[in-house]
Structure 1
Amino acid sequence: MEKVVYILGAGFSAPLGLPVMSNFILKAKDLYFQDTERYSHFNEIFDLLNKMSVIKNFFKADLYNIEEILSILEMNDYLEGQNNTEKFKQFLRDVIEHYTPGIVDYNEKVSNWHDFVFGQSESNILYGHFVAELFNLKFEMLNRNDRIIKFKRNHEANTEYSVVTLNYDLVLENTIRYLNRKCDVSRPITFAGNAAAEAFQSEVQLSKLHGCIEKMNLVPPTWNKTSNQDLLETWKIAQKQLREANHVRILGYSLPISDSYMKYMLKSSLLESKHLKSIDVISLDPSGEVKQRFDDFIDFNYYRFKNGNIVDYLKLLNDITKNLKMYSSNDQHIHNHLERVHSEFMSSL
């Protein structure tokens, strides 16, 4: 069985409207002015930012980029025992939760249930197809009158997927929870955040290197990566995922210069890789700078870089799913075409 690991950066979730590092503060201010009473605690963060502006009298600093802000705050907290970083974690959670779109229930009367089983909006459908492919799901309409849909994992698939993400959000988890709630399942499927993934066939490994807003174990993407011991096990599992991978696919990650820790993570993981066949990167890159950074970092004959939009990647998956009529009958729907989609997308001009 081929093992594929997807590494997801902020660019994976950004099409849904979630903020990225460079626009996080601007989106937070938009949120604050929409409801100043509910988000009144943001004032403390904004006051802190104003206080930090004195730094610009001496150094170049981008105080609209939370990576730089948190790096400064975490260093100060580390040396002086303050708790500004904890305040920022709550701030991060509030902003991300607001901008994460909910899943709109599909209309019970629709006939093309193969699409709307993931929800009614286009974004729900696009990201839903991707998640279904990760789990190799097989859907079946049990009762058309009562709209009862059942799904299970297709264990005859010859590809095993797992995910390593740098994002705090719950985009992937929300899709699975929606399916578990909306469909008739004997055993819910989940993303596993620990070693239990190997023990249960209903789970796909999801390693969140920076933590998760749900658990509030957030680790800012800053210099001090050893400050949160709770995530040590997650990093170990992610290293194991990458070490055993046949194919590594990086989506929506630009390899910032400041992310030296991620470079060492990849190097240490692939140091003992026994059968790595490919490394593919898909990222928006209008200036060519992102490709240059990856080219300078990766020296592997089977590495490819694609200047591409994640939405186009997901739309191709959705289109091929429809065009191939991949269900054996009108009452079945099997997700097993991600490999073809990825190949076509990487080879397209």
Structure 2
Amino acid sequence: MTTVYVFGAGASRPEGAPLISDFIEKAYEKLGKDSSEKIVSIWKFLCDYFGKDPKNSKEAGENYPTIDEIVTIVDYAISNNINLSSYHTLSKLMEVKKGLVNLISSTITQSIVSNDIHKKFIRELKKKKGPIYLVSLNYDTLLDEAITGCYKNPKGRVINYGFNSVITSNPRFNLFKIHGSLNWSLCPFCQNIRVYNKPIAHRLYEEYDICGTCSNSYSEPVMITPTLLKSYNIQRLNNVWLAASEALAQAHRIVFIGYSLALSDYPIVNLIKNAISQKNILREIVIVGVRSDREQLGKRYCKIFSKNITIAFDDSGFTGQTHWDTQLPRDIIR
């Protein structure tokens, strides 16, 4: 039985990563006093646009909208050629967008305090036979580092990211990060994606490294930012989506870890629904969350997926467990 694991933001929460709901508060806690030009420009934009100048992280979280709302406002203005003020013209907003990417990358990187849970999860998966399929909506590098850390002296690549739109059995670990990753950089000229062994997204939009394909020295982050106006126009990232679709099409069981299947994530819903319809072999879904989210998540998943699919809930949260391969949780929603 083939299992595909889908990781949402809730999976990284126990390791310290922020959620959308508290991202601005965490960003101000980590970067409120940061003196770098890009970060300072973001706090100035938020202060000017919303007319509020918070003095601490709690005030920032209470007085500013969530990070996805902020990015959506900027994206909408850019896509419609609208100035948000006499100061925040279209050209300024392009720089604000880069600054937001920097803020997101830096906040995630500085917030993560451990990787014990993901390492435990990957160690257990590595014991199993056959290829392993992971689909992640997270930018962080927790899974990447956990996988590479399992191999002391690897011969060749240990992760297939799906850049060539295929799934593999060698490497066994197929990790499809469909919203991009903090350790990827994009050459805008040849569309080559380079992978690094640490987060570097907040250091890009400048000369960082030489592209091995075309020798260009300008790099951009590979991140589909949290916005209602998501744009998927990076060809090799589209290949990652194709590979994720192929993996999901083979799934008899999908385990959703820390993922709410939010209404704004309709591209993800379409990806999953289209994939599972190809072979129509999906039989079980496991939702991994906390007890307080059980009713809301259960209703949401039941609305999205066919009545022929068993939906179970694991309310223990993500602790690195992998036993769903052999047994469903006792709490059967449908």
TM-score normalised according to structure 1 size: 0.69
For the 8 Å contact 1:282–1:306, the answer to whether it is kept is: yes
Q: CA deviation at 1:198?
A: 4.2
CA distance in 2, matches of 1:264, 1:30: 36
Is the alpha carbon distance of 1:43 and 1:265 closer, same or farther for their aligned partners in structure 2, counting shifts above 3 Å? same
Gaps of 5+ in 1: 56-60, 103-122, 137-153, 318-336
- Aligned residue for 1:213, secondary structure, equals strand
Q: Aligned letter for 2:39?
A: F
Q: Distance in 1 between matches of 2:277 and 2:287?
A: 19
Query: CA 1:53–1:309 in 2, change beyond 3 Å: closer, same or farther?
Result: farther
Two-structure CA RMSD over aligned residues (Å)? 2.8
Structure 1 residues 198 and 269, CA gap change in structure 2 (3 angstroms): closer
Higher relative CO (CA 8 A, sep ≥ 6), structure 1 or 2?
1
1:174 counterpart = 2:171: no
| SS of alignment partner, residue 292 of structure 2 | coil
Residues 62, 68 of structure 1: 8 Å contact kept: no
Number of residue pairs the alignment of both structures matches: 274
Match of 2:21 in 1: 22
Q: Calculate percent identity across the aligned residue pairs.
A: 21
User: What CA distance in whole angstroms lies between the structure 2 residues aligned with 1:73 and 1:62?
Assistant: 18
Alpha-carbon distance in structure 2 between the residues aligned to 1:199 and 1:45: 41
Q: 2:135 aligned with 1:164, yes or no? A: yes
Q: CA deviation at 1:131?
A: 1.0
Q: Which residue of 2 aligns with 1:100?
A: 112
Q: Partner residue of 1:47?
A: 44
CA deviation after TM superposition for structure 1 residue 228, in Å: 2.9
Shift of 1:93: 1.0
SS for the counterpart of 1:269 is helix
Per-residue deviation, 1:85: 2.1
For 1:127 and 1:198, how far apart are their aligned partners in 2?
22
By how many angstroms is 1:309 displaced? 3.6
Partner of 1:283: 289
Task: Supply the distance in 2 between the matched residues of 1:292 and 1:348 (Cα, whole angstroms).
Answer: 14
Task: Quote how far apart the aligned CAs of 1:170 are.
Answer: 0.2
Q: Which residue of 2 aligns with 1:85?
A: 97
Other-structure match for 1:223: 228
Cα distance, 1:90 vs structure 2: 1.4
Instruction: Report the equivalent of 2:307.
Output: 300
Match of 1:190 among 159, 166, 177: 159
- Helix, strand or coil at the partner of 1:194: coil
**Which residue does 1:74 correspond to in 2?**
75
* TM superposition score normalised by structure 2: 0.72
Distance of 2:97 and 2:290 partners within structure 1 = 30
User: What is the CA-CA distance between 1:12 and the residue it aligns to?
Assistant: 0.5
Unaligned runs of 5+ in 2: 53-61, 82-89, 185-220
CA distance in 2, matches of 1:27, 1:199: 38
State the Cα distance separating 1:199 from its structure 2 match: 5.1
Tell me, yes or no, if the aligned pair for 1:134 and 1:204 is still in contact at 8 Å. no
- Which shifted more, 302-311 or 211-220? 302-311
The structure 1 residue matched to 2:124, chosen from 115, 118, 133, is 133
Is 1:259 equivalent to 2:256 in the alignment? no
Deviation at 1:188, TM superposition (A): 5.7
Contact 1:173 1:191 in 2 (8 A): no
Question: Per-residue CA shift, 1:307-334, capped at 9, x if unaligned?
Answer: 524334x2x55xxxxxxxxxxxxxxxxx
What corresponds to 2:66 in structure 1?
Answer: 65
SS at match of 1:259: helix
Q: In terms of Rg, which structure is larger?
A: 1
1:338–1:264 distance in 2 versus 1, CA, 3 Å: closer
Structure 1 residues 219 and 198, CA gap change in structure 2 (3 angstroms): closer
Q: Distance in 2 between matches of 1:197 and 1:129?
A: 27
Q: Distance in 2 between matches of 1:166 and 1:232?
A: 14
Deviation sequence 1:195-247 (CA, Å, 0-9, x none): 47645623411111111111221011323333432321111111111112221
